[in-house]
A and B are shown apart, each in its own frame.
Chain A
Amino acid sequence: MSNSIREYGYNSKVEGEVIVSTADAVINWVRKNSVWPMPMGLACCAIELMAAGASRFDISRFGMEVMRFSPRQSDCMIVAGTVTYKMAAALRRIYDQMASPKWVVAMGACASTGGMYRSYAVLQGVDRIVPVDIYISGCPPRPEALLDGMICLQEKIASERSLKNLYKKENTSIK
């Protein structure tokens, strides 16, 4: 029924009390179900991020309610809001402090491409300084859209070659 390109959870043979599975499946399953976001809440999208964390659009259903403001303790940086050139340096330094594996979600139009602010002071897309995994469009995106983006991130994590990447040298350049 399902082909072998995407393996969710334990793709396993259960014999007695022994579960046999691929290392990738287990590692990815653990990683994707407890993504701890670091909210880089800069502007209006931060309000929708807070609303996604509040009780109506509960983000803790996906294991992501642990919004740590410390980059050392988080997995995913959600850039929510307009990034100006003045803020860009601080943002890159915070990204560098995160421990890998790390992902970046550009939430909203301003973080993805500069949005409607085509001006002298706005960084035209946060992907100019950090590598972005998921782009969420909207101004601001509804919390449902943010949750959809986080589910896409979970699917992306599930399809990574984690075991191979464990021994690969960390590559921080963008293009």
Chain B
Amino acid sequence: MKTSHFQTLKQQFNSITSRPSTDWEAVNVPSEYLVEFCMHLRSNFAFDMLVDLTAIDLGINESPRFVTIYHFFSSINHNYFRVACECTDTEPPTMISLTNIWPAANWHEREAYDMFGIKFQGHPDLSRILMWQGYPYYPLRKDFPLAGIETDLPGKDVVEETKAKVIPAPLDGGPFHGVQASTVKKREPKGYDESWSEQHPKPLS
């Protein structure tokens, strides 16, 4: 049912590797060949729509830390193709932009920059899209807590009047979720944030 394009692609691009995937075909592509590879997919295999562009944070200690994932869809053959590309292992991480070829990538790359801090080279206007301009953190990184970190509210006139700030959301010890671990005791959902709430705020250590 699903034809594998991997062998044909491997002949053209030697440095790609197959990526394990549950449903559609996926490859890992080094970033030097990304643009060429994607254009090859478009012209030879009819993957003409870029439907999704996202990034994954593999963890603070991983190297490289960030991987961008691209999903292509063929409007003729109706199948998907996943491309994974590792970003540079710098701070901030960088990646080539696909905006010149697919205008759909424009906003997706801005979102990846906003959430992860990945700078896309060649992007016409890389600015924050979901958080406000001037927000100092990258929310979807694994070292950023769900509750957020205290900063200033955007809009100086409002801050003067109301004295409101961006505060960490009161999670009351949560979020409670289990982790993949060997014993049942370790798998139990526990509060990973230290126990604090609105009445008893987190003590400044």
Contact = CB atoms under 8 A, between A and B. Distances in A.
Partners in one complex: yes
A114 B146 CA distance: 14
B147 to A, nearest CB: 7
Contacts of A68: none
Nearest to B151: A85
Given A88-B155, A89-B153, A89-B155, A120 B169 contact: yes
Contacts of B144: 120
Interface string B149-169: 100011101100111101111
Most buried by A among B131, B164, B166: B164
A88 B130 CA distance: 14
A3 interface: no
B162 A118 contact: no
A96 B145 CA distance: 33
B174 interface: yes
B1 to A, nearest CB: 39
Contacts of B153: 85, 88-89
A89 B170 contact: no
Given A118-B169, A118-B171, A122-B169, A128 B164 contact: yes
A14 interface: no
A130 B166 CA distance: 15
Contacts of B132: 85-86
Contact size range, B? 20 to 34
A124 B169 contact: yes
A4 interface: no
Nearest to B168: A120
Contacts of B157: 89, 93
A82 to B, nearest CB: 12
Contact of A118 (B147, B154, B155, B163): B147
Contact of A92 (B149, B162, B168): B162
B59 interface: no
A119 B169 CA distance: 6
A172 interface: yes
A129 interface: yes
Interface string A81-112: 00001101110110010000000000000000
A70 B164 CA distance: 25
A93 B155 CA distance: 10
B174 to A, nearest CB: 7
Contact of B167 (A86, A89, A93, A124): A124
B139 interface: yes
B146 A120 contact: yes
Given A88-B153, A129-B158, A124 B166 contact: no
A18 interface: no
Closest 5 CB pairs of A and B: A89-B155, A120-B148, A118-B169, A92-B158, A89-B158
29 contacts: A86-B131, A86-B132, A86-B154, A88-B155, A88-B164, A89-B154, A89-B155, A90-B155, A92-B155, A92-B158, A92-B162, A93-B155, A93-B157, A93-B158, A96-B161, A118-B147, A118-B169, A118-B174, A118-B175, A119-B146, A119-B147, A119-B169, A120-B145, A120-B147, A120-B148, A122-B169, A124-B167, A124-B170, A173-B162
Interface of A: 85-86, 88-90, 92-93, 96, 114, 118-124, 128-130, 172-174
